[in-house]
Amino acid sequence: MPLPFFNTAPAPVQPEETALLDSLPAGNEFAPPPQGRVAAPARQAAGLEWRRSHEPVAYDHSLRVMEERVAAIVAGHGQELVWLLEHPPLVTAGTSAVDTELLEPTRFPVHRAGRGGKFTYHGPGQRIAYAVLDLERRRRDLRWYVHNLEEWAIRTLAAFGVQGERREGRIGIWVTMPGGRECKIGAIGVRVRRWVAYHGIALNVAPNLEHFSAIVPCGISEHGVTSLADLGIQATMADVDRALRCSFPGLLAP
């Protein structure tokens, strides 16, 4: 059954190309288009491909694949893509990244991602779900889309008995640890080109949490980072992939 937020999302916006933070700002940075603008004709649906990589994927390769798929969808002949993968240890820098938040600049390779957000660590034990999706087939509303990406992560975590939560003014997906400390377990970053969204979500399954000390994760220094393994949940990537796929249809399927 659709959740209430489907009916209460803010007004849609109209980008040509936009990089988004994990949580969109409350102001008018993404204002509606001028009245009278004619919507582009709907692109022809070409289906949705689910892809799973069993070995770590180089970041530059994944970005190239996503950008090529975006171009194909915009041209009207590309399949949408959900790609489940891991990266080798690396750091990605979003469009709001600040150099002082890269605490160990030579420890891991750093890639300029083009997505919204700040610095994010990726590495083995973290499930990346890249989603290249045509918002023309769903809803031309970036806030709605980011909210549904967050909900996708939250419902996936719920399959393992973990209560993931949003926090006002704090990007990502959070859990409350014993004792009340709040730690981040998931990250979200998006870029949109001609109403095709790409990048997606990252869930900490069993990464080396010490690696996150190389950065200020997503620009937030006063809170920690956790994972399913850190919470005592022994989930395999296959388990997480099943939960991601089961959670997807009610939220992001066209």
Q: Which of the residues are catalytic? A: 218
How many angstroms separate the Cα of 230 from the Cα of each of 3, 9, 51?
30, 34, 27
Picking from 164, 170, 160, the residue whose alpha carbon sits closest to that of residue 185 is 164
Beta bridge partners of 92: 111, 120
Residue 215 DSSP symbol? B
Q: Pairing state of beta strands 17-20 and 119-122?
A: unpaired
Query: How far apart (Å, rounded) are the C-alpha atoms in residues 117 and 11?
Result: 22
Picking from 133, 141, 180, 171, the residue whose alpha carbon sits closest to that of residue 153 is 171
The residue count for the chain? 254
- Which structure tokens are listed for 188? 């979200």
